Amino acid sequence: MSEDKKKELQSLSRRHFLRNTGVAGVAGAGLAGGFGSAALLQSQRAKAASEGNGVEIAPGELDEYYGFWSGGHSGEVRILGVPSMRELMRIPVFNIDSATGWGISNESKRILGDSARFLAGDAHHPHISMTDGRYDGKYLFINDKANTRVARIRLDVMKTDKITTIPNVQAIHGLRLQKVPHTKYVFANAELPIPQVNDGRDMETPENYYTMFNAIDAETMEVAWQVIVDGNLDNTDADYTGRFVASTCYNSEKGVTLAETMRNERDWAVVFDVEAIEKAVEAGDYKTIGDSKVPVVDGRDGSKLTRYIPVPKNPHGLNTSPDGKYFIANGKLSPTCSVIAIDKLPDVFADKIEPRDAVIAEPELGLGPLHTTFDGRGNAYTTLFIDSQVAKWNIEDAIRSYNGEEVNYLRQKLDVHYQPGHNHASLTESRDADGKWLVVLSKFSKDRFLPVGPLRPENDQLIDISGEEMKLIHDGPTYAEPHDCILVRADQINPSKLWKRDDPFFAETVAMAKKDGVTLESDNKVIRDGNKVRVYMTSVAPQFGLEKFTVKQGDEVTVVVTNLDQVEDLTHGFCMVNHGAQMEIGPQQTASVTFTADKPGVYWYYCNWFCHAMHMEMSGRMLVEPA
Ligand code: RUQ
Ligand code: CUA
Ligand code: CA
């Protein structure tokens, strides 16, 4: 047997094994099926590997795109440069972060609010605010499925600045933004139906449970309204008219077990008429639930506010094409995607046509379609979880095929490694979709990297889609879980280099200093207020403004540090040894941390962000007098 043949056979049996593990991963038995033309795929893979696309980002060169990655159940957001796939920064959101003091500093705790007591989160869907269907670089929004929250990140300072817990529902999953005229609303799907009111009554009557679709005001981050739906809600996207938003529902059965949720051949995509909902709320046509003041409208089947479009089967991703023409629902347990014509939706709402008549194509793509993304040239790219592939297909050809013409809409299938969830093409959620890069977030890396114990990294793969053929360029091992990402042109983001002294991020701390008669930019002072002690100090590399301060055992101590350095990239840290207190203080930032001085003695504090040749010496002492 030739070497080549041997390799091919080995590779085939490996893929066979992987395919079967993928099937087990999705829903147990009953899903095994089509093997596809593996030999053909192999040759495609070999070809992709042998041809480079000539792109190289040399050391010191900057990337063309920012990528914002959700960190899944690690709760954070990560910033990558694309195409180099270098990790540039992490933004803690729903997690606790030792380096920056997120969840530890007073400023971050204020932003975390009531939910500061949670140490965990599950960040899924990062999306950038838009004006007229284009990224405006102002905010990034992201959901927390674990604790039913929505967070906002300011893209000037790259910090989380608001977190809202959504009332009356459980598990915010799908999240997308209004695209036009601008991002007034953040749309958020609550996935899991619950009893209403959820206070211990009626727990075993799932047929009475419901969940809601939520609109959050993007500026105030308050919930504007909620819409009761049938079934449940998975993913969502908005259109380019500002009127419609669609969400997939995989549980039309209202099942509470896996088997029950797979019973129906079709579930649906529910379409929301945002303008009609706004009118209903304005007219006072709503109720409220429990203590919450949020207007709740009824969007269950038969309501004027929604329409339910039947699509097969346990659909998952819902993606709007960048030309504004289609919502695409990804079939998951059906090998198809359903193409919904947005220009037919006014007729659906006017009852001139049946909801199902808005489906104008249902191409068969392969096993386990999860998410679709677009190149702005009429092609769609759908991840096939079970097949471990991305299918490239042409939307207009799929429509022609649905209408009976003999035309092949499939352009290419590319192997990815392995079991992809989301994929995302550059600028795909905006009018500017430019069809250059495709990131595929593969849930398993299996044999692609050195083994690192039972827990393996996942695999972010970068694919060049600028030509006719998709070409795999890069494997990027990532820590759990790179759930989803968004790629935006570097010039669409405008990050600050220094903090502004009047930044709202630490305005409350500045106000506290003012009350204490302290000028943060110059004073180093200890203020006693009963058993509360506030210690104000400056930092200029390599020195804190105070070399020591004295408190009494049992005091609640708040240390406020103002970094006076005006130099870009000169961040200090503050760490109080043996007190669990540490934080970042960026150039021109004020940050504070509060702890109890519960043991008498000498405790050193030191700077923990490397700032100077004498960084090790940047320290001081807290003297705690015995009570
Ligand atoms: S959903 S793997 Cu949380 Cu983004 Cu589709
Ligand atoms: Cu200041 Cu290190
Ligand atoms: Ca179902």
- Can you name the residues that pair with 477 across neighbouring β-strands? 459
357 and 321 belong to one structural domain: yes
Gap between the Cα atoms of 468 and 445, Å rounded: 27
Distance from Cα 124 to the centre of ligand 1, integer Å: 7
426 and 483 belong to one structural domain: yes
CA angle 184, 190, 193 (to 5 degrees): 150
DSSP structural state of residue 166: P
Q: Is residue 547 part of a domain?
A: yes
Gap between the Cα atoms of 507 and 414, Å rounded: 51
- Domain stop point among 341, 362, 383: 362
Q: Is residue 15 part of a domain?
A: no
Name the pairing type of β-strands 548-552 and 619-625: parallel
Position 7 scores a pLDDT of 52
Q: Is 95 helix (H, G, I), strand (E, B) or coil?
A: coil
Averaged pLDDT, 292-310: 97
Position 407 scores a pLDDT of 98
222 and 289 belong to one structural domain: yes
DSSP structural state of residue 466: S
CA angle 516, 519, 523 (to 5 degrees): 100
List of E strands, 12-126: 65-70, 77-82, 86-91
- Spatial contact of 190 and 233, defined as CB atoms under 8 Å apart: yes
Gap between the Cα atoms of 530 and 75, Å rounded: 38
- Spatial contact of 140 and 79, defined as CB atoms under 8 Å apart: no
Gap between the Cα atoms of 213 and 235, Å rounded: 11
Distance from Cα 421 to the centre of ligand 1, integer Å: 6
Position 339 scores a pLDDT of 98
CA 544 to chain CA centroid, nearest Å: 38
411 and 315 belong to one structural domain: no
Position 48 scores a pLDDT of 39
CATH number at residue 619: 2.60.40.420
Gap between the Cα atoms of 263 and 30, Å rounded: 13
Q: Is 511 helix (H, G, I), strand (E, B) or coil?
A: helix
Is 572 annotated to bind a ligand? Reply is yes
Is 618 annotated to bind a ligand? Reply is yes
Q: Is the dihedral of CA 248, 251, 254, 257 positive or negative?
A: negative
Distance from Cα 75 to the centre of ligand 1, integer Å: 14
Q: Is 200 helix (H, G, I), strand (E, B) or coil?
A: coil
Write the CA distances from 11 to 8, 35, 138, integer angstroms: 5, 14, 46
Instruction: Give residue for tokens 């009824």.
Output: 298
The yes-or-no verdict on residue 463 having pLDDT over 90 is yes
Q: Is the CB of 325 under 6 A from ligand 1?
A: no
410 and 537 belong to one structural domain: no
Contacts of 468 (CB under 8 A, 6+ apart): 411
Residues near ligand 2 with C-beta < 6 Å?
A: 541-542, 572, 607, 609-611, 615, 618
Question: What is the average pLDDT value for the chain, to the nearest integer?
Answer: 92
Position 482 scores a pLDDT of 83
pTM: 0.92
pLDDT tens digits, 351-381? 999 999 999 999 999 999 999 999 999 999 9
pLDDT tens digits, 219-265? 999 999 999 999 999 999 999 999 999 999 999 999 999 999 999 99
Position 4 scores a pLDDT of 55
pLDDT tens digits, 180-214? 999 999 999 999 999 998 999 999 999 999 999 99
Q: Is residue 415 part of a domain?
A: yes
State the amino acid at position 464 in one-letter form. Answer: D
- Can you name the residues that pair with 234 across neighbouring β-strands? none
Q: Is 32 helix (H, G, I), strand (E, B) or coil?
A: coil
217 and 346 belong to one structural domain: yes
The yes-or-no verdict on residue 17 having pLDDT over 60 is no
Position 56 scores a pLDDT of 82
Q: Is residue 186 part of a domain?
A: yes
244 and 350 belong to one structural domain: yes
- Spatial contact of 316 and 328, defined as CB atoms under 8 Å apart: no
Q: Is residue 346 part of a domain?
A: yes
Distance from Cα 557 to the centre of ligand 2, integer Å: 21
For residue 316, give the ligand nearest its CA: 1
What's phi and psi for 267, nearest 5 deg?
-105, -135
pLDDT tens digits, 552-589? 999 999 999 999 999 999 999 999 999 999 999 999 99
State the amino acid at position 123 in one-letter form. Answer: A
**Ligand 2 nearest atom to the CA of residue 615, by list position:** 2
Q: What percent of the chain has pLDDT over 90?
A: 90
Q: Is 51 helix (H, G, I), strand (E, B) or coil?
A: coil
Q: What is the DSSP string of 587-619?
A: TT-EEEEEEE--S-EEEEEE--S--STTGGG-E
Position 49 scores a pLDDT of 40
pLDDT tens digits, 144-162? 999 999 999 999 999 999 9
For residue 259, give the ligand nearest its CA: 3
How many other C-beta atoms lie within 10 A of the C-beta of residue 515?
11
DSSP structural state of residue 620: E
The yes-or-no verdict on residue 38 having pLDDT over 50 is no
Q: Is 165 helix (H, G, I), strand (E, B) or coil?
A: strand
Q: Is residue 135 part of a domain?
A: no
Q: Is the dihedral of CA 277, 281, 283, 289 positive or negative?
A: positive
Is 73 annotated to bind a ligand? Reply is no
The yes-or-no verdict on residue 39 having pLDDT over 90 is no
- Domain stop point among 323, 340, 362: 362
State the amino acid at position 455 in one-letter form. Answer: L
Gap between the Cα atoms of 379 and 532, Å rounded: 63
Contacts of 17 (CB under 8 A, 6+ apart): none
CATH number at residue 209: 2.130.10.10
**Ligand 1 nearest atom to the CA of residue 317, by list position:** 5
Q: For residue 20, give the nearest of 387, 442, 513, 458 by alpha carbon.
A: 387
Q: Which residue minimizes the CA distance to atom 1 of ligand 2? A: 572
480 and 596 belong to one structural domain: no
- Domain stop point among 362, 383, 415: 362
Distance from Cα 419 to the centre of ligand 1, integer Å: 12
- Spatial contact of 386 and 16, defined as CB atoms under 8 Å apart: no
Poorest-pLDDT segment among 34-48, 401-415, 440-454, 504-518: 34-48
Write the CA distances from 497 to 141, 213, 612, integer angstroms: 22, 38, 19
378 and 321 belong to one structural domain: no
What's the structural domain count of the chain? 3
Position 589 scores a pLDDT of 98
Q: Is 262 helix (H, G, I), strand (E, B) or coil?
A: coil
Domain containing residue 581 = 511-625
252 and 203 belong to one structural domain: yes
Averaged pLDDT, 266-275: 98
Q: Is residue 189 part of a domain?
A: yes
Q: Is residue 50 part of a domain?
A: no
State the amino acid at position 318 in one-letter form. Answer: L
Gap between the Cα atoms of 18 and 385, Å rounded: 11
Q: Is 411 helix (H, G, I), strand (E, B) or coil?
A: strand
Rama region for 590: left / alpha / beta (φ>0; ψ in -120 to 50; rest): beta
- Can you name the residues that pair with 214 across neighbouring β-strands? 188, 226
Instruction: Give residue for tokens 């003091």.
Output: 101
Q: For residue 84, give the nearest of 59, 108, 49 by alpha carbon.
A: 59
Q: For residue 296, give the nearest of 233, 230, 229, 226 by alpha carbon.
A: 226
Q: Is the dihedral of CA 418, 128, 131, 233 positive or negative?
A: positive
Is 124 annotated to bind a ligand? Reply is yes
518 and 621 belong to one structural domain: yes
Q: Is 249 helix (H, G, I), strand (E, B) or coil?
A: strand
256 and 275 belong to one structural domain: yes
